[in-house]
Amino acid sequence: MGEYVATDGTNGILSFGKPFNARPTRLRGYYKYTTAPITSLPPKSNPEDYERFLPYLGKPDTCSVYIALGDWSEPVEIRTNPKNRKLFDKDDPNIIAYAEFNSGETTTEYTLLDLELEYRATNRIPTYMIIVYSASKFGDFFTGGEGATMFIDEFSLEYDY
C-alpha cells in the first residue's frame, strides 16, 4: 500500500503506507504462488549487491507478505538507488505491530494465509498501515526469478473483541 513517487535513474522512490488508526489482530486471505529460479541479479556496476545475491542464482525465488502498523508522522519513504538506498526496516522503532510470511514453494491452489500481528507496543496508536505482497522477496535489489507469480484473494483485517 502506497504510491510510486518518482524514478531515480533506473530506481524507484516509493511512499509506503496509508493513514490507519485501528488495532487488527491478523491479516487473513488466500494466496497462490509459482516460484521460479532466480535469474536476475543486481547490476555488476553495484558490486556489493551483486556479490551479496550471487549465491541465490538458480535457487527458487521467494514470495513475501508483510504488514506493519506504525506511528510514523508521514508515509515511509523507500529508495532503491544504492547511492541513497532506504528500504523498509522491520525493526524500525516506530513499528507498533508486525507480521510476515515468506515461502519459496509453489502453491498451485489458493491457500489460506493467516498472519497474526505481534504487538510490540500496546500503549501507542497506529497512524499508518503498510501491507506488501511480493512475488520476489529481494525485488528491492532487482533480484528475482522471471515468471515468479503471486495471486492474492479475499484478504481482510481481523479483529478480536
Find the mean pLDDT for residues 81-105.
Answer: 93
For 45, the 3-state DSSP assignment is coil
pTM of the predicted model over 0.75? yes
The DSSP secondary structure of 82-113, one letter per residue, reads TTS-B---TT-TTEEEEEEEEE-S-EEEEEEE
Q: Give 20-70 pLDDT, tens digit per residue.
A: 999 999 999 999 999 999 999 988 888 888 999 999 999 999 999 999 999
Q: Report residue 43: phi and psi, to 5°.
A: -60, 145
Among residues 19, 21, 22, the alpha carbon closest in space to that of 161 is found at 22
Q: Can you tell me the distance from the alpha carbon of 33 to that of 139, in angstroms, rounded to the nearest whole number?
A: 16
Among residues 140, 2, 138, 3, the alpha carbon closest in space to that of 63 is found at 138
Among residues 72, 75, 69, the alpha carbon closest in space to that of 27 is found at 69
